[in-house]
Structures are given as structure tokens and as C-alpha cells.
Structure 1
């Protein structure tokens, strides 16, 4: 029964061009309700509660979701004006992607601590991640359908397809690999800082004891504190996993499991396995790093803002600590997006024509 259920789900997912527009429209209609509540003054789960003009922005989002929902439904109808439908679908996709701003950070916190700071906000982030995927699929299916290409593979071929032919494994173009290496190197200062603390040293004038004490004051779990005491900082481990993901997107071993992987050696890597965390990470970390650099790191340097003054994050020491993290997230997130786009295009299977 489990195998049959898995095949049913896989078959349904494989027909995404047929239902993605309806699903995106339903998602938009559901999303209008909380947006209207935020516009009316409720703050539960609102990503705009600390933003000036947040209520007006929430009202605008509700209007955009209504328009996007109509566009999603219209995308399933033949002879629909192509330009405005694509604008509506892509606008809603961008809005939903913006709502995943802290998804990865909260996800890591959930993995290592078992909880998050704000469950309603995290729920909104998960909801937005689903919406971004649905609208991206709806836009892609509509674009291919109106261009007289196959909605599934994006290529022009006659007749129905009898199956899927996977793309041959190959490394990413050289330019993409270089971008991936640069994104990985951006994490080096962050890993050095965290490892120095984890091993009991001092970085930027901040000793390890103060870092552990800060973790304790912030209610860190016993697992995180234990890892810290044994020199294993959980954010460093997460960064290393992120680097492996980025490099895997640009090399053959990210498409076919290498021989050293037990039970899976030689098998194709399912495309969703690296692409799901890659796109979530790119949509979260790239804006987080860029916005943080512009509005948090840059002002003190040019004399337009004060240095941080919160716990261990005080003065130029605190600024340096922040720069090691924020300065890594932006380049890494951008590189992850570039690598994910390249991987997605390079591993796209083709339809096999019927005999």
C-alpha cells in the first residue's frame, strides 16, 4: 500500500502543469484573509508589524493576492491575455517569496532547539514558501503552454510523451562554479569566528565564555549548550552543510550519488532533494544579507548610524561579529540562487516521445 501511495503521489506531482494554476489561485484566496486582518490592525503572525506603514502594506498585499488569484485561475483557460497573466503570477510569486524572509533561520532554530520564537510568524513563512512554489509552477506552465511548448519539459515536440529521459550528469558551467566557490569562501570568516569561540578562544575582543552565557540567557537548549562546550557550534555545522549543498549543485556528485554513499551509490539524486533547500536558502539568505549590510553594517561606517549596543554585540567588536555573519549570508545566498537556477535547467528531464 505504501508503494502504491507513493506512486500515486508521484504521478499527481508529475502532472503539476494541469493543477498548479488552480492550486495557486486557492492559495491566494486563503492568503487574503490574514492580509486583511493585518490591514485591520491584528499583528499575530504579521511580517509587517514592525514596518512603518505596515497596515497599508498589508492592504496592498491583499489586493495583489486577489489579482494574483484571478490571474492563476485565468492561466488555466485558453486564449487568455498572456502579458497581464504572467505579470500577476510573477508578482504573487515575488510577494510569497518575500514572506519567507526568516524561514531558514527559524528552521535551523527549530531543528536545534525544538521551538521557534514566534510560531504564527513561522507558520506564515511556511505558507509563503508553499505559495511561492505554486505561483512559480503556475507561471512556468502558463508560459510554456502559451509558447506552444510542452508544459512539462519546456521543449517543442509532437504527440504525447511516453515517459521522461533524465539529463546526462555534467558539472555546471565554469562561471557558475566560480560563483559557487566565491559564495562558499564568504563563510570562512564566520566559520573561523564561531570555531574560535567553540574552542574557548576570543574573537574580536569577545571571549567564548560570554558567548555561552549569551546562549544561556537567550534560553538555548541543552543540545546547543552541549555542542558549544565540546567545540561544535551548531551554526558552523549548518554553514558547512550549506557549503556542501552549494558545491553539490555545481558538480556531478550532486546529480548522481557517489560510490562512497552506502545503498545509494550510482543512483540519480532526486531533483527536489537539493533544489528545495537551495531555493529556500537563496530566497531567505540573499535578502537577509543584502538588507542587513545596507541598513545595519553600512550606516556606522559612513557615519549615518550608531554602533550596536546589545549584550556582546557592542561597539566595533559587535559590528565585526555581525559583519562576519551578515557579510556571509548575502554572497552565499546569491551564489546559491545562481547555482540552483543552473542546476534546475541542467537537470531538467526531457519527454520521451511515444513509439
Structure 2
């Protein structure tokens, strides 16, 4: 039996949730281009689409947003558990522990099949957990959810205690929508494998969070921020980038394992950041660096098809909204919760336990 290390290229499931075409630069959520959703809808609307198969009507959206806000309050017992975790615990481990604890406490630890309300509850709760824990570790008082703010704006508000700039909310919302789903990646597969045993949603989400924690999957775009910090000004951009390429160094945020043309997620984020450049100089620097870098890559590496990936503009957005680097991967996780839970609901609807084979390469006695 021939083996395929890492299962690369092996089809593990059929899905109606998303489609990734790396050659054409397409990312589709349930029949809609993700970049168009990111530019034209709210995070809640895009989440509703993935969970329900259609965009919400006006009344549906009002009811859905009310449900979302109702799940932002952390139970006292969960806060107590978070409070007892060692200060040195990294945020991804905190999230994994918190979701596990909530799954054990809410009475659904044996629930099968998982319900859409659980998907909404865990997703709404995760960003609140991040903000609560972050302020705790910074020695700051917790901030209660703002009743008038939508999901992304409320996340920024609970981190800082200040009403966020509308430009920052728009940019981060675009990022959240583009990060919420991306096919059968490692963390999504991990969650589906656990759920396929008819385990509960919390256990499956813990598996997904554990996979996202690994630097080969959920590695944050902090190196892109470092690069932009090094470049510092528009005037230095071409000189710095040319020196990097001349010395054989990689440009962080360019090239992608799947996309052989422009990453559609990067395209949408570019449109947003270009439109907001006048409101934040960091966006202006990022758009210039991208333009110069793509031209230089064509010059130094002709035929390699190296274009901007989502990490480049994710870094620009996260840096612009003053997101601490320690929260880059947790913030990615807060967005991806929508895709994970959508996959778990889909897995339950047509479940078959995953049971791949392995090839024995050891010795045989006799």
C-alpha cells in the first residue's frame, strides 16, 4: 500500500462550506466569494451564512445579533477557572482550558449531535475570554461587553476599554471574515476527526485549538510586523527590500503553499487598507511595501509566482489596531471558530468515523 505522508492531496470529506482554488486565486464560502463578503457584509452575516447556508434577512439578522450578544457574558465559574491558571500560561492554552471547562459545565459534554446554538455560544464567548485574560495578565480591570457594539468592535473595546475607531473596526472585521474558514486545514481536520467519534463539540474545538497553537499552522504574522518596523518609512522601502533579496533572504508575507496567484484574502485586505491609508499611516506604508516587493520578486525570482499572502495584510491590520503580538494567533482563532464549528455541524450531519491506515516500516520477526 502506497503511503502519502501528511495525507497531502487526499480527499477526506465532501463539504458545502468553502472552496479554495489556488490556481485561480478563489476562496468561496457557500457560493459567495469570500473577498466580496469581507468587503460588503458584517462578521455576523458571514457567520450566519456558514452556519445556515444563506445570508440572513433583516429580521433574522436582528434576532441573530441579539443571540450573539446574550452569549458574551462569561459564567462566574469559568472566570474563576481562568483566574486560577498560572500567569505564565500562554493564551492558546488558556483558550483550550476554558473551552474544555465550559463544555464540562454546560451539560453538553455528552451531547450528540452538536447544535447550532453551541456553535454560536462558543464563538461569541471566545473573544470575551481572550479580552478577559489579556487584561488580567496586564494588571488591568476587566471590561464588560458593550451592548451596542457588534462582535469585532466589542472585541477591540473589551481589550482596550475604549470605543474603537471605525476605520480599525472595518479593517479588523474584513480580516475576521477572511480568516473564518479555509477548507480542510490541520485544525479543521483535527476537530472533525474528534467529532467523528461522536464526541462533543467542546472536545472537538479543543483539538482544533491545540492544532492552531502549533507554529506550523497558527504561526502569527509577527515576522511581517518586524519587517515593516525595520523598513519604517516609505523612502527606505525599496532599498531595504532589495538588500534582503540580494542577500538571499525571504520576504515575509509573500508566497503561499496553495495560492499560485494573488491570495484573494490579501486582495480584499489591500482594498480596505488602501481606502483607510489616509486615516492611518501604517496602512499607507504597507500598501507601498507590497507594491515594491511584488515588483522586486518578479525581478529576482522570475517565474516563481510569488505574490502577497494573507499574512502580510493581516500583519498590517493587526499592527494598525495596536493588537499585541501575543494575541495574533488567539485573534486568528477567534475568527476561525466560525469555520471550525460549521465543519463540526456538517460532520455530524453525515458522520462517518475517520480511520486512515498506516504503513508498517519496522522489522518483522522470523
TM-score relative to the length of structure 2: 0.26
TM-score, length basis structure 1:
0.27
**Greater percentage in helix:** 1
By relative contact order (CA 8 Å, sep 6+), the higher-ranking structure is 2
Based on CA coordinates, which of the two structures has the bigger radius of gyration?
Answer: 1
